[in-house]
Amino acid sequence: MEHIAALLLVIGCSDTMTECRELSVPVSVFETFEACTAERPFALGDLQGQAPHVVGECLAVDPALEDDYDQIVWNVRPDGSLDASLEVSGMLVASNGARREKDYLNQQ
């Protein structure tokens, strides 16, 4: 079984950064954080036409909790920076500061 070390989250926002939504990427799970980081600029470039502002973040996955994650929580700030985290049953596990919730059940 392949272990996931990172998830790529990409968000598209309006000009005013007030309306944002997740954008689908061809590959969203990675075996290493470095592989996710390497793919991120290409994924962002491919999605540039889908929204006026496109931002993305690689989220580290704890292998011990890989099957337990059930939400990605994210927020795009007015300055365009993305805060995102993975949560297990409402418990914050890894974060770079997020707050918009989305159910996450093995998207691949």
Nearest CA to 87 among 74, 102, 71, 105?
71
Domain ranges of the chain: 6-103
Q: Distance between CA atoms of 45 and 47, rounded to whole angstroms?
A: 5
C-alpha of 87 from chain center: 12
> What pLDDT sits at residue 103?
40
Report whether 101 contacts 86 (CB < 8 A).
no
Whether the predicted model's global pTM rises above the 0.85 cut? no
Q: What is the mean pLDDT of each run of 10 residues along the chain (108 residues)?
A: 81 92 93 95 94 94 75 89 83 49 39
